């Protein structure tokens, strides 16, 4: 399961997981009723995010370990990275 920071056509953003970028976009559209893409951040429509961030649109609730907490406190800055780009983790 991969996580993405998604921008909708109205400019709102959120975190959604999916098996692929396409899957996450379709899940986000279905749950929010919004369209993925465009808005004032056209080049940031779908970017990978290393950890969940608020607001969470959808996230896998694993039957054993549950949901991963929203560790990323700067999703707009970290979007596009597959690991945390900060010198120190936001959770420290």
What does the pLDDT look like over 2-57, one tens digit per residue? 999 999 989 899 999 999 999 999 999 999 999 998 655 455 588 999 899 999 99
pLDDT band, residue 82 (cuts 50/70/90): confident
Pick the most confident of 24-28, 72-76, 78-82. Answer: 24-28
Residue 69 burial class via C-beta count within 10 angstroms: exposed 0-12, middle 13-18, buried 19 and up: exposed
Whether this prediction's pTM lies above 0.95 is answered by no
Question: What pLDDT score was predicted for residue 67?
Answer: 93
Question: What pLDDT score was predicted for residue 16?
Answer: 97
The rounded Cα 37 to chain-centroid distance in angstroms is 13
Which two three-digit tokens encode residue 6?
């998604």
Looking at per-residue pLDDT, the higher value among 71 and 33 belongs to 33
State how far the Cα of 92 lies from the Cα of 74, in Å rounded to an integer: 14
């Amino acid at each position: 399961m991969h996580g993405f920071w998604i921008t909708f056509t109205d400019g709102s953003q959120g975190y959604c997981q999916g098996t692929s970028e396409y899957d996450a976009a379709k899940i986000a559209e279905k749950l929010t009723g919004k369209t993925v893409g465009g808005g004032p951040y056209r080049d940031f429509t779908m970017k990978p995010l290393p950890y969940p961030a608020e607001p969470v649109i959808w996230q896998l609730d694993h039957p054993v370990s549950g949901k991963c907490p929203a560790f990323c406190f700067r999703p707009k800055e970290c979007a596009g990275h597959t690991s945390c780009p900060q010198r120190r983790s936001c959770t420290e």
